Amino acid sequence: MKSETKTEAINVFLEETRNFSPPESFRKSAWVRDEKVYETARRNPEAFWASFAEELVWIRKWDRVLEWNPPDAKWFVGGKLNISVNCVDRWAKSELRNKAAIIWEGEPGEERTLTYWDLYREVNKFANALKKLGLKKGDRVTVYLPMIPEAAIAMLACARIGAVHSVVFGGFSAESLRDRINDAQARVLITADGGYRRGKIITLKREADEALKGTPSIQHVVIVKRGEFPLEIKEGRDHWWHRLIEGAESYCEPEAMDSEDMLYTLYTSGTTGKPKGIIHTTGGYLTGVYATTKWVFDLRPHDVYWCTADVGWVTGHSYIVYGPLANGATVFMYEGAPDWPEKDRFWQLIEKYGITIFYTAPTAIRAFMKWGTEWPARRNLSSLRLLGSVGEPINPEAWIWYHQNIGRGNCPVVDTWWQTETGMILITPLPGVTTLKPGSATKPFPGIEACVMNEKGQRVEVGGGYLAITKPWPAMLRGIYGDPERYQKQYWSKWPNIYFPSDGAKLDENGYFWLLGRVDDVLNVAGHRIGTMEVESALVDHPTVAEAAVVGKPHEIKGETLVAFVTLKDVGAPFGGARPSQVQGQAQGLPLQKLAQELKDHVAKKIGSIARPEDIIFSADLPKTRSGKIMRRLLKNIAEGKVLGDTTTLADSEVVNRLKQQYEEEG
């Protein structure tokens, strides 16, 4: 009853305040106050982007803004620059020299502040240390670190000497790390002895050692000493970070990078079993993240900006490191979990550091909702002036909760749509001008052309279809590492010369975009991108598994969770056609529950705990079409408990009915 009245109240509230105009106090001093910017950018997008590039420091100015030979784009052609100079030197040598660049807090509570001058010194020293290890422009470096300032320093030091970084999220397993190192053929791995998460220690170096058993390209390992963690040091290969920089020179000449030289690769999940290394380059990427950070987050010198993402994801790259630092911002960085030691840790941090801009994911917001308003209510959050959301569609209820309970009704909420591939935010409000609708990412950023299309490539004026980006943009991916064909096929083959992001979207009568989630076999679990094929490969790798199909099931907090349908080897039909409740619950000598647990652990070990399936359903067979394709839609319907659709194309429709019945019985 109680929750019904709550929903009713929200509906009434929604009706009354469907639209939120920017508060006058915000609008007055915002970077963008006039909607004319959209028109200006539309008329001459190249001049528009160039005006942001002009605000950066170039070693040599570009000759041409854009060369577009679909699907290959080159931005600021002929220009030369160094990103670390733009993010660090520029401010370290200005009146912002003593301004905090990074304010950090560890989960156990340690505090560190690096001014721009401190950051400058650290980046230069570490860049020299990397050079001493023999690294040159173009070499790849894998970074596997907790959320500590050294993550940003390592990335910037690589950028300074022209080495290409590949950051791997610290929650990924040894095997995932190994595969990413090998794909990039990295020469150096930068890691730490460990880190903290929810009061537990994460022994990163041990995980890394496991990976390093199969990574012949790695010559050196650099280890940050985060605490007193158990580890082994391999003489000659392993080096402590602090020792390396002890003797390093305090200035390192920045490499003059071509605008199109590679800055980094970042592995992300797609529709195959193997993650792809998305390539980002230098001039266009920096221009794109610089512009969007400035306008979307409306950054001012006095702001303390906090993005809760991990540096292991693209959000950490673009909106913790490169975008904010290129704007001379003060970035707050926190190592740990939001509910440690108590469920108000985030609110306590906002109060303590006077955070003004807070950028997080809907999955976190839904967890905050569940924990209750008493946690934020205990703390003074009045320093906040802008809130952001990213990673998955935000449901209107969560949007409104966030706006009311965290923003106290005074902070615009910017729901920002983008991807690892896009490098920068593409669909978003501009907080000083856009009228907000809870649940909508609103409109394309100025200079971005997006629309909704149907299968045939016709524009949908009002209604649903596929999201499409119809013009190149500066921070767009330049390819997939080592696989140019897949780049063309994956992103540019659905419609000619138009980027296909694999997201569904709806356009309303005001031209507002409502993102509807992925339309491919990629799932979004707690804001993390997970390819169903990767999880299936991990399952099939287990000696008992013959076949597996993974689908998503809606989840109150995580958005989606993974449900795996598994058929086992040897025993063929393990239940002999009977329901599991009718058999002994044994397969290959193991009780099924125990086997399910083992399979979940197996996936966590192979990929990382973010990919651990929530449910495992053993079945005698998987529903397939006559041509042998697994019918995922049907499995999804079963997992979601929906009524079955038309099954006449099924090879054996009995299978589905059995599966459905079994699932319902198992609850």
Query: What part of residues 354-413 is at the interface with ligand WTA (CB under 6 A)?
Result: 390-393
Positive or negative torsion for Cα 457, 463, 467, 468: positive
Name the minimum Å distance from CB 475 to ligand WTA.
12
146 in contact with ligand WTA (CB under 6 A):
no
Name the minimum Å distance from CB 38 to ligand WTA.
19
Name the minimum Å distance from CB 505 to ligand WTA.
9
Beta-carbon count within 10 A of 647 CB? 15
Site size for ligand WTA (CB under 6 A):
22
Instruction: Closer to ligand WTA by CB, 289 or 548: give it.
Output: 289
Q: Which of 195, 171, 234 is nearest to 108 (CA)?
A: 195
Distance set, CA 20 to CA 17, 401, 412 (Å) = 7, 14, 8
* Integer-rounded Cα radius of gyration of the chain: 25
Instruction: Closer to ligand WTA by CB, 314 or 526: give it.
Output: 314
Query: What part of residues 482-521 is at the interface with ligand WTA (CB under 6 A)?
Result: 501, 503, 515, 517-518
Is the separation of the CB atoms in 639 and 663 below 8 Å? yes
Name the minimum Å distance from CB 512 to ligand WTA.
13
C-alpha to C-alpha distance for 311 and 123, rounded to whole angstroms = 17
Name the minimum Å distance from CB 362 to ligand WTA.
8
440 in contact with ligand WTA (CB under 6 A):
no
Site string for ligand WTA, 223-262 (x = CB under 6 A): ----------------------------------------
Instruction: Closer to ligand WTA by CB, 83 or 390: give it.
Output: 390
C-alpha to C-alpha distance for 140 and 163, rounded to whole angstroms = 6
C-alpha to C-alpha distance for 419 and 266, rounded to whole angstroms = 11
Name the minimum Å distance from CB 530 to ligand WTA.
10
C-alpha to C-alpha distance for 73 and 177, rounded to whole angstroms = 30
C-alpha to C-alpha distance for 623 and 630, rounded to whole angstroms = 6
Name the minimum Å distance from CB 390 to ligand WTA.
5
Instruction: Closer to ligand WTA by CB, 226 or 529: give it.
Output: 529
C-alpha to C-alpha distance for 650 and 627, rounded to whole angstroms = 9
Of 115, 128, 360, 420, which lies in the binding site for ligand WTA, with binding defined by CB under 6 A?
420
| 3-class DSSP state of 484 | helix
Instruction: Closer to ligand WTA by CB, 268 or 662: give it.
Output: 268
Is the separation of the CB atoms in 345 and 353 below 8 Å? no
Contacts for 97 with CB less than 8 Å, ≥ 6 apart: 91, 115, 116, 117
Contacts for 188 with CB less than 8 Å, ≥ 6 apart: 130, 133, 135, 139, 141, 142, 163, 218, 219, 220, 221, 222
| 3-class DSSP state of 418 | coil
Of 135, 441, 592, 631, which lies in the binding site for ligand WTA, with binding defined by CB under 6 A?
441
Instruction: Closer to ligand WTA by CB, 491 or 618: give it.
Output: 491
Q: Which of 599, 428, 421, 436 is nearest to 518 (CA)?
A: 421
Point out which span in 5-13, 313-321, 473-481, 546-554 binds ligand WTA (CB under 6 A). Answer: 313-321
Of 26, 418, 466, 512, which lies in the binding site for ligand WTA, with binding defined by CB under 6 A?
418
466 in contact with ligand WTA (CB under 6 A):
no
Of 259, 405, 419, 544, which lies in the binding site for ligand WTA, with binding defined by CB under 6 A?
419
171 in contact with ligand WTA (CB under 6 A):
no
Site string for ligand WTA, 517-556 (x = CB under 6 A): xx-----x----x---------------------------
Point out which span in 232-240, 308-316, 600-608, 616-624 binds ligand WTA (CB under 6 A). Answer: 308-316
Q: Which of 535, 554, 527 is nearest to 611 (CA)?
A: 535
Instruction: Closer to ligand WTA by CB, 254 or 362: give it.
Output: 362
Of 84, 86, 124, 416, which lies in the binding site for ligand WTA, with binding defined by CB under 6 A?
416
Q: Could you tell me where the beta strands, DSSP code E, fall in 208-261?
A: 220-224, 238-240, 257-258
Instruction: Closer to ligand WTA by CB, 142 or 318: give it.
Output: 318
166 in contact with ligand WTA (CB under 6 A):
no
C-alpha to C-alpha distance for 134 and 282, rounded to whole angstroms = 22
Name the minimum Å distance from CB 309 to ligand WTA.
8
Name the minimum Å distance from CB 556 to ligand WTA.
17
417 in contact with ligand WTA (CB under 6 A):
yes
Is the separation of the CB atoms in 182 and 149 below 8 Å? no
Name the minimum Å distance from CB 415 to ligand WTA.
5
Distance set, CA 487 to CA 134, 167, 180, 557, 579 (Å) = 31, 20, 18, 33, 45
Q: Which two tokens stand for residue 106?
A: 């560890």
268 in contact with ligand WTA (CB under 6 A):
yes
DSSP annotation of 442:
B
Instruction: Identify the bridge partners of residue 549 per DSSP, sorted by sequence position.
Output: 565
Name the minimum Å distance from CB 256 to ligand WTA.
30
315 in contact with ligand WTA (CB under 6 A):
yes
Query: What part of residues 580-639 is at the interface with ligand WTA (CB under 6 A)?
Result: none
Instruction: Closer to ligand WTA by CB, 478 or 529: give it.
Output: 529
415 in contact with ligand WTA (CB under 6 A):
yes
559 in contact with ligand WTA (CB under 6 A):
no
Instruction: Closer to ligand WTA by CB, 317 or 660: give it.
Output: 317
Query: What part of residues 99-128 is at the interface with ligand WTA (CB under 6 A)?
Result: none
Q: Which of 628, 627, 619, 625 is nearest to 659 (CA)?
A: 619
Name the minimum Å distance from CB 523 to ligand WTA.
10
Instruction: Closer to ligand WTA by CB, 317 or 345: give it.
Output: 317
C-alpha to C-alpha distance for 288 and 45, rounded to whole angstroms = 12
Q: 635: number of CA atoms within 13 Å, CB side?
A: 26
Instruction: Closer to ligand WTA by CB, 157 or 331: give it.
Output: 331
Reading phi first (left if > 0) and then psi (alpha if -120 to 50, else beta), residue 439 is in left
Q: Which two tokens stand for residue 395?
A: 């449901």
Inter-axis angle of helices 45-53 and 283-296, to 10 degrees? Answer: 90
Name the minimum Å distance from CB 208 to ligand WTA.
23
Name the minimum Å distance from CB 166 to ligand WTA.
15
Q: Which of 322, 328, 346, 483 is nearest to 402 (CA)?
A: 346
Instruction: Closer to ligand WTA by CB, 561 or 662: give it.
Output: 561
Beta-carbon count within 10 A of 517 CB? 16
Q: Which of 268, 350, 270 is nearest to 306 (CA)?
A: 350
Inter-axis angle of helices 174-184 and 592-606, to 10 degrees? Answer: 30
Instruction: Closer to ligand WTA by CB, 32 or 515: give it.
Output: 515
Instruction: Closer to ligand WTA by CB, 289 or 314: give it.
Output: 314
> Would you tell me which residues interact with ligand WTA (CB under 6 A)?
268, 313-315, 390-393, 415-420, 441, 501, 503, 515, 517-518, 524, 529
